[in-house]
Amino acid sequence: MEKSTSQRIRLGVFVVLGTLVLISALYYIGNRQHLFTKNIPVFAEFENVNGLQIGNNVRYSGINVGNVSKIEMLAESRILVQMMVEESTGKFIKKDAIATVGTDGLVGSMVVNILPGKENLASIKPGDTIASYSRIGADDMLSTLNVTNENAALLTSDLLKITNKILEGKGTLGVLVSDSTLAKNIKQTLLNLQETSRQTTIAMSKINRELADLNIDESLAGTLFKDTLSRNRIENIIMKLDTTSSHIAGITKNVETMINRIDNGEGALNYLTQDQELVQNIDTTLFYIKQSSIKLDENMEALRDNFLFRGYFRRLERQERRAMKKAMKD
Amino acid sequence: MVASNTVWDNVKSFFEEIGDIAYFTGRFFREVFKPPFEFRELLRQCYNMGNRSMLLVGVTGFILGLVFTLQSRPTLMQFGAESWMPSMVSISIVREIGPVIIALICAGRIGSGIGAELGSMRVTEQIDAMEVSGTNPFKFLVVTRIVAATLMLPLLILLGDAIALLGSALVENIKGEVSFLLYFNQVFDSLKFSDLIPATIKSFFFGFAIGLVGCYKGYYCSKGTVGVGEASNAAVVYTSMLLFVIDFIAVFVTDIFFGI
């Protein structure tokens, strides 16, 4: 039963090695190092990684698909992060996917979130670099929050003033809030409105009844409503009326212009209508013309009796008589 | 040359010892399921290891919970998170601190006791006498002790955890004016089976390691009365180390199955 020294040593070595293998296997499985899955390297450049460490998870659409395997400083504010992503999920990551550094929970460790790209682009290949944007740091957020707080303080002080005024009954809102008479008036108005609407409802129902009773097909209104031919005619008439009225408007305008001119003393008509002397002159002229025509009449009578023109007048008389006889025969 | 020989000898003896413990473990598993079973001796050992360690475990656990809570308070107060105290203390005690501290205490008390007892039996040739008289000394002395330690440790650890939480509740009651009822409500709200089960399984292994190393060191004790002291000392040292290795492995296993 007694074992030899070499046997005991070999068993000891075996136990120690076995324990070490067990511990390392548990460590790798426990940390989900993806030992047994095929991984592809993917790169992303950041300005600020917010405390990202090697071994932090990489998430794509919220699923752990790998982890950060290397963080390298390339230049000032250029940090290259290498991620090992499972090949099986890598085919779903498109070339326009965006990597961001986020936090796992409120105070949890950092994670790299890969946001999905558009579907029509090709999938990433091993060694590809995807776009990234660095998250706003807590300091920036706090400074923005500070400005917001200051604004909020100003706003609340203004609001306080306004509410104080309202409480004191100043301003329109104050009156609205504190004036009981106004409230009563508004209440009364509302009651009146209610009554009016009630009456309107009754009136509307009456109108509805009347309309229902009216035999609309046989009336003029019915014709107007239903006959499309009449409607076209009426439309034509109205169009023509429209044209006519526009013409009338033009004429009226012209007349107005003319009257204005006349009033202003421009043109002959004004001279004719407004000048008193002209009227007298015309009157005198007419008198003279009358006198002259009387005298001309006398002269003509004398001329007829003159021997030189007597033959001509006799010929005229003869022609007239002939024409009368012919007319009587017809 | 002498130095390299010494290093090589040390390495050799280290692996030799590990190999011996492995053989010893193998022998234990062969013997444990083979009748006849020494129930009376087992019960006596359980009483020795369990009941007689209760006071030690109780006092240690109480002080552990008390001090842990007192030390954590200022830090949690900085965050205004005193209300998290019950859940934080309960989870850390039940999961890790309770089992490890109480196992270490038991390694000191039980491991050294077994080592000294078996060692003195070996050097006074009582074990040899048993072998001569036809009784299986391994079965009667070693198997019963290892089984008793394996069974008693989880119970002692549960007891220690409970008393540690009581100590913590006392501090919270005095300092934070939290009633016992509220404290334990919050404790049981935050504790899950995934906290308790891995810790309990782990404590079986702790008990097994304490019994095994103690028995091994005592059973193979040599060099007279000096050897007895060495055996009990080595039992405690080796057991403590082994406890941390087991704890280390247990954490990984727990992470895989329960997710820490």
**How confident is the model over A67-86, as pLDDT tens digits?**
888 888 888 878 899 988 88
DSSP state of B94: I
Q: Which residue of B has its CA nearest to A23?
A: B249
Whether B72 and B164 have beta carbons less than 8 Å apart is answered as no
Within 8 A by CB and 6+ apart from A18, the residues are none
Distance separating alpha carbons of residues B73 and B127, to the nearest angstrom: 53
Q: Which residues are bridge partners to A86 per DSSP? A: A39
Q: Is A287 part of the contact surface with chain B (CB cutoff 8 Å)? A: no
Give residue for tokens 């450049």: A45
Rg of chain B over all Cα atoms, to the nearest angstrom: 21
Please give the distance of CA A235 from its chain centroid, rounded to a whole number: 34
Q: Nearest chain B Cα to A17, which residue?
A: B15
Asked whether residue A124 carries a pLDDT value surpassing 90, the answer given is: no
Contact with chain A for residue B244, Cβ under 8 A: no
Mean pLDDT of A186-201: 91
pLDDT one-digit tens code per residue, B174-208: 888 888 888 888 888 888 888 888 899 999 999 99
Using the beta-carbon criterion (under 8 Å), do A30 and B22 form an inter-chain contact? no
**Strand (E) positions, A27-128?**
39-46, 57-60, 63-75, 78-86, 98-103, 110-115
Nearest to A31 by CA among A105, A109, A97: A109
Can you tell me the distance from the alpha carbon of B252 to that of B5, in angstroms, rounded to the nearest whole number? 37
- Give every CB contact of residue B225 below 8 A, 6+ residues apart in sequence: B120, B123
Q: In angstroms, how far apart are the furthest CA atoms of chain A? A: 199
Contact A55, A67 (CB under 8 A): yes
pLDDT tens for each residue of B4-13: 678 888 888 8
What are residue A103's DSSP bridge partners? Answer: A110
Which one of B22, B249, B255 has the shortest CB-CB distance to A12?
B22
Find the mean pLDDT for residues A33-38: 62
User: How many A/B residue pairs have CB atoms within 8 Å?
Assistant: 53
Residues of chain B with pLDDT under 70: 1-4, 259-260
Which residues on neighbouring strands pair with residue A41, listed in sequence order?
A84
Burial of B5 (0-12, 13-18, 19+ CB in 10 A): exposed
Which residues 136-165 of A have a C-beta within 8 angstroms of B? none
CA–CA separation, A96 and A79 (whole Å): 19
Helices and strands of chain A, counted as H and E runs:
10, 7
Using an 8 Å CB-CB cutoff, list chain A residues near B256: 26, 29-30
Ramachandran bin of A84, using left for φ above 0, alpha for ψ from -120 to 50, beta for the remaining angles:
beta
For chain A, give the mean pLDDT: 82
> pLDDT tens across A88-113, in order?
877 788 888 888 888 876 666 788 88
Residue A7 contacts B where some CB pair is shorter than 8 Å: yes
Minimal-distance CA residue of chain A relative to B12: A9
Residue A97: name the closest of A43, A147, A136 by CA. Answer: A43
Q: Does A63 touch chain B (CB under 8 A)?
A: no
B9: exposed, middle or buried (Cβ count in 10 Å: 0-12, 13-18, 19+): exposed
Decide if B20 touches A, using CB distance below 8 A: yes
Chain B residues whose CB is inside 8 A of the A7 CB are 19
Q: Which residue has the tokens 């234990």?
A: B28
Residue contact B18–A11, C-beta within 8 A: yes
Q: Is B22's CB within 8 Å of A26's CB?
A: no
Question: Are B240 and B112 within 8 A, CB to CB?
Answer: no
Say if residue B255 is exposed, middle or buried (CB neighbours under 10 Å; 0-12, 13-18, 19+). Answer: middle
Of A5, A19, A29, Cβ closest to residue B16: A5
Task: Delimit the domains of chain B by residue range.
Answer: 38-257
Is B81 near chain A, with CB under 8 Å?
A: no
Q: Strand pairing of A78-86 and A39-46?
A: antiparallel
Is A13–B20 a contact, with Cβ atoms under 8 angstroms apart? no
Which member of B18, B20, B256 has the closest CB to residue A16? B18
> Could you tell me if B201 and B98 are in contact, meaning their C-beta atoms sit under 8 angstroms apart?
no
Residue-wise pLDDT for A264-300, tens only, equals 766 666 666 667 787 788 888 899 999 988 988 888 8
Contact (CB, 8 A) for B252 and A23 = yes
Task: Give the separation between CA A142 and CA A125, rounded to whole angstroms.
Answer: 39
**Domains of chain A, residue spans:** 31-135, 267-300
A32 touches chain B (CB under 8 A): no
| Virtual torsion, Cα A268, A273, A276, A282, nearest 10 deg | 70
Decide if B165 contacts B187 (C-beta within 8 A): yes
Average model confidence (pLDDT) across chain B: 88
Q: Say how many CA atoms lie within 13 Å of A12 toward its Cβ.
A: 19
Q: What is the DSSP letter of A96?
A: T
Alpha-helix residue ranges (DSSP H) falling in A70-137: 87-90
Q: Using the beta-carbon criterion (under 8 Å), do B249 and A12 form an inter-chain contact?
A: no
Token code pair at residue B101: 């501290």
Provide φ and ψ at B136, rounded to 5°: -80, 105
ipTM (interface pTM): 0.71
DSSP state of A94: B
For testing the chain A interface, which of B84, B252, B257 should be mutated: the one with the most A CBs within 10 Å? B252
What value does the mean pLDDT take over residues A56-65? 85
Residue B173: CB partners within 8 Å, gap ≥ 6?
B179, B180, B183
